[in-house]
């Protein structure tokens, strides 16, 4: 059984990666400080997988502790999902975002190097793409001019990884640019953390469906899109998790730096998402148009062909069937 360290393995995407890894015979070891997740998730992972799940409560910036953990296990690869991800909070507290996201990545890379672990998969985001790019977005589309401190942390980390790969040939680095992950494991046990009022579209619609919020605010109705609302590429989180497996299996984490879009390649507008949700769950979602949300780009969807060609990976779920069991 092959050990894989997974930072942020207690979070939304990390937990789904842990399930996929165990299913494929890997032995994931979670590194997480539970700053945006809850320890109870470990038990849920054990229920779903039927296996004991190893974890360490560690802040990646704590180099001493991280080094001692790395020494205890033989492992060649880190999947690096840990980080803060709220655009709004990053605007309120930019220093804390730079410190946590960039600081923890630098600390992780240094400890990996000391332990001679040179393979990493980094959770990046479609937010790194420059918003004036032709669509669909390809891995070689321009990045930068990010709209907020969160996006900047992803962009800066990508640049750090690019420099690292260029200047130290021992590294094998994969950057996975996630589009819009949605939904959760079929058990209904693993959810995107939605305490309080959610920021993301689907968690917000779920709260409206559960009558915990009165209506959905649709941010903007006059974008230059087919129905005036923003378009995104929504990908089932299980497909996303399987993308990481495909990287481990097919790419064998090639030397140097490789970038992959993880999306479906299909864009859906906010109104289309509402309609698909209503149809799937036979429920009406009341909504009102409000002003545009600062920093939103009108359209974002990817060309996922590179991942298919090189990793033999593509998304299996479309928007409609990603919404099955969403209220479970
Ligand atoms: P999440 O908040 O659910 O999980 C992140 C995990 O990282 C949490 O368990 C948190 O406790 C842990 N963490 C944060 N800082 C840490 C630190 N310093 N040391 C140790 N653990 C720490 O987020 P997610 O949705 O699972 O996202 C995972 C990654 O994917 C993030 O880097 C995020 O930026 C990126 N991403 C997410 C989305 C999305 O929509 N969910 C989209 C694109 C990219
Ligand atoms: N959105 C919306 N109302 C909400 C949340 C989101 O209209 O309460 C829109 C948002 O403007 C964007 C799309 O839904 O066009 C997806 O937003 P989300 O925050 O889920 O993901 P993002 O693409 O911003 O990462």
Q: Which domains, and CATH codes, for the chain?
A: 3-182+235-263+303-315 (3.40.50.720)
Residue 199 is classified by DSSP as -
Calculate how far, in angstroms, residue 201's C-alpha sits from the geometric centre of ligand 2.
Answer: 5
Burial class (CB in 10 A: 0-12, 13-18, 19+), 135: middle
For the chain, the maximum distance between any two Cα atoms, rounded to a whole number of angstroms, is 56
* Dist CA 60 CA 67 (whole Å): 10
Which residue stretches of the chain have pLDDT < 70?
1, 193-195, 251-252
Residue 37 is classified by DSSP as S
* Dist CA 254 CA 272 (whole Å): 39
Give the per-residue pLDDT at 195: 64
Q: Which of 12, 26, 97, 150 is catalytic?
A: 150
Residue matched to tokens 């709209």? 147
Give the per-residue pLDDT at 188: 87
Instruction: Ligand 1, residue 35: give the atom nearest the CA.
Output: 11
The model's pTM is 0.97
* 301 classed as catalytic: no
Give the per-residue pLDDT at 37: 94
* Dist CA 133 CA 143 (whole Å): 9
Q: Measured in whole angstroms, how far is the alpha carbon of residue 278 from the centre of its chain? A: 25
Residue owning the nearest CA to atom 1 of ligand 1: 11
* Dist CA 199 CA 202 (whole Å): 9
Query: In sequence order, what are the beta bridge partners of 32?
Result: 57
CB 58 within 8 A of CB 39: no
Give the per-residue pLDDT at 278: 97
| The CA-based dihedral angle spanning residues 157, 162, 163, 168, taken in that order and rounded to the nearest 10 degrees | 120
């Amino acid at each position: 059984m092959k050990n894989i360290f997974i930072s942020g393995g207690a979070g939304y995407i990390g937990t789904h990666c842990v399930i996929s890894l165990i299913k494929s015979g890997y032995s994931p070891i979670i590194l997480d400080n539970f700053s945006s997740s809850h320890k109870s998730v470990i038990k849920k992972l054990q229920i779903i997988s039927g296996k004991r799940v190893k974890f360490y409560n560690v802040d990646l910036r704590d180099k001493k502790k991280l080094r001692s953990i790395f020494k205890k296990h033989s492992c060649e690869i880190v999947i690096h999902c840990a980080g803060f991800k709220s655009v709004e909070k990053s605007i309120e507290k930019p220093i804390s975002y730079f410190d946590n996201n960039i600081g923890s990545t630098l600390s992780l890379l240094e400890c990996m190097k000391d332990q001679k672990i040179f393979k990493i998969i980094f959770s990046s985001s479609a937010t790194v793409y420059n918003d004036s790019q032709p669509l669909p977005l390809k891995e070689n589309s321009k990045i930068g001019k990010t709209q907020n401190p969160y996006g900047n942390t992803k962009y800066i980390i990508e640049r750090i990884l690019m420099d690292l790969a260029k200047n130290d040939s021992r590294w094998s680095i994969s950057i996975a640019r996630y589009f819009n992950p949605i939904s959760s494991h079929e058990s209904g046990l693993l959810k995107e953390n939605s305490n309080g009022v959610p920021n993301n579209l689907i968690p917000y619609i779920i709260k409206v469906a559960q009558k915990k919020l009165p209506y959905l605010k649709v941010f903007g109705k006059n974008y230059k899109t087919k129905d005036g609302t923003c378009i995104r590429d929504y990908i089932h989180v299980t497909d996303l998790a399987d993308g990481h497996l495909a990287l481990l299996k097919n790419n064998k984490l090639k030397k140097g730096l490789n970038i992959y879009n993880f999306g479906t390649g299909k864009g859906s507008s906010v109104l289309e998402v509402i309609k698909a949700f209503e149809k799937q769950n036979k429920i009406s979602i009341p909504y009102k148009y409000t002003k545009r949300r600062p920093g939103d780009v009108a359209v974002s969807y990817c060309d996922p062909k590179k991942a298919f060609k090189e990793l033999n990976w593509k998304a299996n779920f479309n928007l409609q069937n990603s919404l099955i069991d969403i209220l479970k």
